Structure 1
Amino acid sequence: MNQSISIIGVPMDLGQNRRGVDMGPSAIRYAGIIERLENLKIHIADLDDVPVSRPDTRKEVKDGHLLNLQQVADSNWKLAEMVDQEITKNRFPLVLGGDHSIAIGSLAGAAKHNDNLGVIWYDAHGDLNTVDTSPSGNIHGMPLAVSLGIGEEKLTSIFGYTPKVKPENIVIIGARSLDPGEKELIRDKGITVYSMHEIDRLGMSQVMNNTISYLREQTDGVHLSLDLDGLDPEEAPGVGTPVIGGLTYRESHLAMEMLAEADILTSAEFVEVNPILDDQNKTATMAVGLMGSLFGEKLK
């Protein structure tokens, strides 16, 4: 993995309707991410935060059925430009969220540099909804569908091309809350999913071995999109859409350690840290610990 990392914060809370997740990047920085990675002898450039344009009021602003569509699209375009620029400089983009709608921009910037970008979607949710299937109109439930070229044109066309990823290059890990339309899309596109059922039966070690082997064979780079609600809310309470029965902190550390050893990642993001809903910044601290493992931190 590239040992020059560019940290990009995205204080986005417009892809959903709960306040606080816009403070996620600050919470992660406060929990010591820069110091943690510098201790690993990694060169860090903190690029501060992507400007997030806001509606005139913080009330729900819907464009058709979608919440804050124009503002989400504008910010993701800016993020895509930053991710693209850092990869061009041969630096590893590490994006801090913010709600999961920011993955639209991360993937748009990253996929420009790969013919077959792989995606590990570490999440309780599939985020494969569209304007037609979404119960809420919240864009943070749509970024993976958007990246497949499915959904609202203002989002799918970000950075001037679509799709960003192919369904056969996606692996979802930790899923336990999928809407009917998402399940149908997963079946239709043949997307690989390791739900909690498979993780319990196979164990995290086997799931990660399968994922790494599969993506290594057919992709030319891999983006990790890690939503902290992939972890069980007993361990990571500071998330906006918690789902019980999730991954443990230890399982997640193992997953990150195995990705570090495999050396297949070319970009990553950690999203949905909401300090308002957290307990003494516990979830942001967990995010920092997982990033430490992802970038090679070891006990000995």
Structure 2
Amino acid sequence: MTIILVPYHLDERLPDHDFPLPPGHTVRTVTEQLPDGDVWARLGHLYEPVAWQVAHCVQTGDTPVVVSGDCTAALGTMAGLQQAGVDAGIVWFDAHGDVQTLETTASGYVGGMPLRILVGYRPELISDRLGLRPLAEDRALLVDARDLDQPEADYLATAAVRRCGVADLDAALLPPGPLVLHLDLDVIDAAELPDLRFPVPGGPTADGVLAAARRVLETGRVAAMDIACTWYPGRPDPDGVRARLLAALIDG
């Protein structure tokens, strides 16, 4: 297993120590001198080497784990799998829907759009640059998503994207074939994981999320995993909550 560390929140460089990775793994850190331009050009420049690293891992028989500060890095993960010839579906754990668009978002936050981009929204923004082919909606399973904006709820009401709760997740609900297991750690109840950028109360416990993730991993179909550490940078972790959580996810 190789960890691909992408120490960014979108195009903002984060301190490496904000990602307390477990020891004993090969870690490949992706950092880039990002060009001037809009956020999509900058993210495209960043995720091209992420995709290359993922593809290289897969082609050498390894399973990549992409660790970053937001969910958009999943675009690089999926592009890399496709470059390696792996046609994967995705299991997307998140407190949010991540299916906003530029036309519907009230905040303009592009970190709320990656799942929508994966299923084909406006490929000219970044997918074309990455060579990312759209995923059929019914090959995406959105887990939890307890905090939806109205445009997201409207979209999901008619889309073929699958949905379930954390406790309800089992093998029968998973898309067929190889899988990307994506975990935005804000899926965990905010009371258990402090200093999240976008905390949402009333969520599942860390143990519940870990158990559900293991059910996916136990299928033997996970071709890559990506973990979005969506907490504020530079905040202390005096009780080691983040380190234990990452170790549990990566080491099983």
Do they fold alike, i.e. is TM over 0.5? yes
Match of 1:261 in 2: 218
Match of 1:228 in 2: 185
Q: Distance in 2 between matches of 1:77 and 1:106?
A: 10
Q: Which residue among 59, 80, 83 is the counterpart of 2:54?
A: 83
Deviation at 1:288, TM superposition (A): 2.0
Q: Which residue among 241, 244, 247 is the counterpart of 1:285?
A: 244
Q: Distance in 1 between matches of 2:82 and 2:173?
A: 18
- In the TM superposition, what whole-angstrom CA distance separates every residue of 1:9-36 from its partner, at most 9, and x where no partner exists? 0011236xxx7x823x5333xx35133x
Q: Which residue among 152, 156, 169 is the counterpart of 1:208?
A: 169
Q: Distance in 1 between matches of 2:196 and 2:243?
A: 10
Q: Distance in 1 between matches of 2:131 and 2:21?
A: 36
Question: Larger deviation: 185-194 or 91-100?
Answer: 185-194
Q: Distance in 1 between matches of 2:130 and 2:10?
A: 20
Higher-helix-fraction structure: 1
Gaps of at least 5 residues in structure 2 are none
8 Å contact kept, 1:125–1:175: yes
Q: Which residue among 50, 62, 69 is the counterpart of 2:30?
A: 50
- Secondary structure of 2:169's counterpart equals helix
- In the TM superposition, what whole-angstrom CA distance separates every residue of 1:27-57 from its partner, at most 9, and x where no partner exists? 33xx35133xxxxxxxx4222x11233467x
Match of 1:276 in 2: 234
- Secondary structure of 1:219's counterpart equals coil
Matched, 1:191 2:165: no
- Secondary structure of 1:240's counterpart equals coil
- Secondary structure of 1:262's counterpart equals coil
In structure 2, relative to structure 1, the CA distance for the partners of 1:131 and 1:83 (3 Å cut) is same
In structure 2, relative to structure 1, the CA distance for the partners of 1:241 and 1:135 (3 Å cut) is same
8 Å contact kept, 1:240–1:277: no
8 Å contact kept, 1:237–1:278: no
- Partner amino acid, structure 1, of 2:179: V
In structure 2, relative to structure 1, the CA distance for the partners of 1:277 and 1:135 (3 Å cut) is farther
Matched, 1:95 2:52: no
- In the TM superposition, what whole-angstrom CA distance separates every residue of 1:70-94 from its partner, at most 9, and x where no partner exists? 2112111221121112111111010
Q: Distance in 2 between matches of 1:170 and 1:249?
A: 22
Matched, 1:248 2:237: no
Match of 2:14 in 1: 22
Q: Which residue among 106, 115, 119 is the counterpart of 1:148?
A: 119
Q: Which residue among 6, 10, 33 is the counterpart of 2:6?
A: 10
Match of 2:86 in 1: 114
Match of 1:71 in 2: 42
Q: Distance in 2 between matches of 1:267 and 1:73?
A: 20
Deviation at 1:273, TM superposition (A): 4.0
In structure 2, relative to structure 1, the CA distance for the partners of 1:152 and 1:134 (3 Å cut) is farther
Structure number with bigger Rg: 1
In structure 2, relative to structure 1, the CA distance for the partners of 1:135 and 1:278 (3 Å cut) is farther
8 Å contact kept, 1:8–1:96: yes
- Partner amino acid, structure 1, of 2:6: V
Deviation at 1:235, TM superposition (A): 0.8
Deviation at 1:107, TM superposition (A): 1.3
Matched, 1:34 2:23: yes
Give aligned-pair identity as a percent: 26
What is the aligned-residue RMSD (CA, Å)? Answer: 2.3
Q: Distance in 1 between matches of 2:123 and 2:250?
A: 32
Alignment coverage as a number of residue pairs: 249
